[in-house]
Amino acid sequence: MIIKFFELKKINKDNKIFLIYGDNDGLKKEIRDEITKQFQGKEINYDESEIFKNFNEFLNLIKNHSLFDDKKIITIRRSTEKILEVILGITDNKVADVIIIDTGILEKKSKLRNFFEKSKEFVIIPTYKDDYQSLLRIARDFFLKKKINISQETINLLVSRCNGDRGYLKLELSKISNYLIGRKNISLKEIYTLTNLSENYTATELVDSSLGKNYEKTCRILNESYYSQEDTFLILRIFLQKSKRILSMLETINNGKNIDIAIQEHKPPIFWKDKPIIKHQIQLWRYDNVQLIISKINSLEIMIKKNNSLGMILLKDFIYDVINIKPNNSF
């Protein structure tokens, strides 16, 4: 059953297995949050690889359920086509818990995608990259709802600096909202000061510099820029997004295509001025090292959520680890 994000509130509570696919991480988070809000329960997170390593343990978690247990909302991240085996293995049993499968882009020929699209029991929700106009709409709606006076120029600046990431945009909007308690207007100068949008170094520059192993520039950015605790999640999100992109193109190269073709054919398309940066990054990394970076980012996010005050310290340690790895060496 295919639905869109805004249709989530209409779903039957008997629909308990969800597949979210695509490359819009910000929208995916909103979908997961909405499902969690609707069903209420204990949240449990798995990587697909963890499930296959401990399949019996996962199966027992699904099967064993009593009237006195809290409902569980199980999210399986970084899923691949292989997760279909797991779904087919548990559908013989009545699933009491909610299962959210989070995966990347799925082609039309994908068996996993086709299975969910044809099912009347299971829900599939595609997510696509937000275009500039949709992000503008999110920002405008936010300021209208909050009755905040802000110029169109300032809104345009805010949106243009968010790299097409609605999660990034909403994080910045949340910071503005917290700053403006009791006030109804904000200037362009305040936006520059409050958000991470100054002309000095953006979060994107920090991530690109780190993945490009530019030791001097990365250290300069970390020393000269001020990042709030809230910015740690923004930086991690951009790190994750760009690492996944590198991983995808390395996979294409491993399948026999050259680096220029991998960049040219990547979906969504890469902006022309970013292509030299990405090409340099791809040449520095091995597939397994990027996988490990992605795994470390997810672990780091959990650690920071548990102790937010250590966010920037933990993030800086992670970044120094990344830039100190010699090209093509193990992490």
- Both tokens assigned to 292: 């490990």
**Segment 207-231, tens digit of pLDDT:** 999 999 988 888 878 876 667 667 7
- Spatial contact of 62 and 89, defined as CB atoms under 8 Å apart: no
Q: How far is CA 269 from CA 51, 75, 114, 257, 309, in A?
A: 33, 29, 25, 17, 37
**What's the whole-number mean pLDDT along residues 53-74?**
76
DSSP H or E stretch at residue 306: helix 287-306
- In CATH terms, 204-323 corresponds, of 1.20.272.10, 3.10.20.30, 1.10.645.10, 2.70.70.10, to 1.20.272.10
**Segment 296-306, tens digit of pLDDT:** 998 898 888 88
**What's the whole-number mean pLDDT along residues 263-285?**
88
Q: What is the average pLDDT score of the chain?
A: 83
- Both tokens assigned to 229: 């605790």
pLDDT band of residue 245 (cuts 50, 70, 90) is: very high
pLDDT for 67 equals 55
**Whole-angstrom distance, CA of residue 139 vs CA of residue 40:** 29
* 5-127 under CATH 3.40.50.300, yes or no: yes
Q: Does residue 141 or residue 187 have the better pLDDT?
A: 141
CATH code for residues 132-199: 1.10.8
pLDDT band of residue 172 (cuts 50, 70, 90) is: confident
Classify 283 as helix, strand or coil. helix
- Around Cβ 196, how many Cβ atoms within 10 Å? 24
Residue 263 has pLDDT above 50, yes or no: yes
Q: Does residue 92 or residue 58 have the better pLDDT?
A: 58
Distance from CA of residue 65 to its chain's centroid?
31
**Segment 70-114, tens digit of pLDDT:** 778 889 888 889 899 888 877 665 667 889 999 888 888 899 999
User: What are the residue boundaries of the structural domains of the chain, listed by start?
Assistant: 5-127, 132-199, 204-323
